[in-house]
Structure 1
Amino acid sequence: MATLGIIGAGAIGTRLARQATAADIDVVLANSRGPETLTATVAQLGARARAATPEAAAQAGDWVVVSIPLAAYKHLPAAALAGKVVLDTSNYYATRDGHLPALDAGEITTSELVQRHLAGAKLVKAFNNISDHHITALARPAGAADRTALPIAGDDPEAKASAAELISRLGFDTVDAGPLAESWRFEPETDPYTVPYCTDPDAIRAAWAQLAEALRSGNIPQLPAPDPGAPLPAARLRTLLAGTSRKLTADRMIA
């Protein structure tokens, strides 16, 4: 029986756990606060899910999803993740993670940074360019006419194939964006980032602008209501990936 380890029980991690259990994949869920804090979450997920430490989740998983703030990446259990296919959902926000000069300058991508820490793992960037509520809203069975595609990037072809197999079971097609060095193509505020999965892209862009202004003014931002989601076919995603320009931290609305 296949098992998915998930390190990070936030919005993305718990949505992926829900998709996995629905696809008959066992889930071992971990966070930084200890398994006892996940009792209610595991109960909601059902009999296929259990809570554990990050090390135990890493050891148990046939694949391991890492879904934590980038600032915490050095706390990931590198030894336990050695040899594993690791799906990295991280994005860089300097206002949250603190400024990292190599990322600010575009010298390295977020997932290349995480891969350096997880030197023995096989990292695949995935699930970072879609809003958490769209994971459940847009998942479809294999072969569905309205199936949505997600980009992946990684340096190990076999790891990418394995990640694509998992992602298919979770309800999505995949488009290979190349090595980790090219994963900037679907990082924050690039063309494939979140907006193409929305029913009203203009409204989402306007909400981003309002959020950025609130953050600059020191006000508490009002988050937009969840968008119901619109399918994004693989062909359209390939076009977006090929045509996007890189958005360095200083060029983004929300740095």
Structure 2
Amino acid sequence: MGDISDAKGIVMALVNEIGFDSVDGGPLEESWRQQRSTPAYCCDYDAEVTRKALAAAVKGDASRKRDQVPTFFARLGSHPSHDDVVNAISAQYNRVFVDRRWP
């Protein structure tokens, strides 16, 4: 994410070097695609699915979803594990993109 392609290239190379797959999230004007309550936010996806999640974000949709997050997480109980949270968010991803509904 950013507007300086040389800088993005350096950072992406470093990310790849330490063993992760980097994903270019686009220019800063597209940063809303990975804000809270968008498909790519806070998910443990591989690079291919992350690209799809970024592309599937709908501008202005995050605020509506954000207001539903407390109810969504309350279903996980008082002390969900990291895996529980990631799995629940991933399940939401499938509902949002396969069934086209939230939550």
TM-score greater than 0.5 by the shorter chain: yes
CA distance in 2, matches of 1:171, 1:185: 24
Equivalence for 1:241: 54
Structure with larger Rg: 1
Q: Any idea what the Cα deviations from partners look like across 1:154-208, whole Å, max 9, x if unmatched?
A: 00000100110121233311111210110111111100111x31xxxxxxxxxxx
Aligned-residue offset at 1:251: 5.1
Matched, 1:184 2:32: yes
Unaligned 5+ runs, structure 2: 70-103
Q: Any idea what the Cα deviations from partners look like across 1:133-169, whole Å, max 9, x if unmatched?
A: xxxxxxxxxxxxxxxxxxxx10000010011012123
CA distance in 2, matches of 1:170, 1:252: 32
Match for residue 252 of structure 1 among 55, 62, 66: 66
The answer to which structure has the higher helix fraction is: 2
CA RMSD of aligned residues (A): 2.1
Matched, 1:169 2:37: no
TM-score (norm 2): 0.55
One-letter amino acid of the counterpart of residue 173, structure 1: D
Equivalence for 2:4: 156
CA distance in 1, matches of 2:12, 2:49: 18
CA distance in 2, matches of 1:169, 1:188: 27
CA distance in 1, matches of 2:10, 2:39: 26
> Of the two structures, which has the highest relative contact order with CA contacts closer than 8 Å and spacing of 6 or more?
2
One-letter amino acid of the counterpart of residue 31, structure 2: S
One-letter amino acid of the counterpart of residue 14, structure 2: L
Closer, same or farther: CA 251–189 of 1 in aligned 2, 3 Å = closer
The answer to which structure has the higher strand fraction is: 1
Mapping of residues 171-250 of structure 1, within 5 Å: 171-194=19-42, 196-197=43-44, 232-246=45-59, 247-248=62-63
Aligned-pair identity in percent equals 36
TM-score (norm 1): 0.24
Unaligned 5+ runs, structure 1: 1-152, 198-231
One-letter amino acid of the counterpart of residue 57, structure 2: T
Aligned-residue offset at 1:236: 1.2
Number of residue pairs aligned between Structure 1 and Structure 2: 67
Mapping of residues 1-255 of structure 1, within 5 Å: 153-194=1-42, 196-197=43-44, 232-246=45-59, 247-248=62-63, 252-253=66-67
Equivalence for 1:111: none
CA distance in 1, matches of 2:20, 2:34: 16
One-letter amino acid of the counterpart of residue 252, structure 1: R
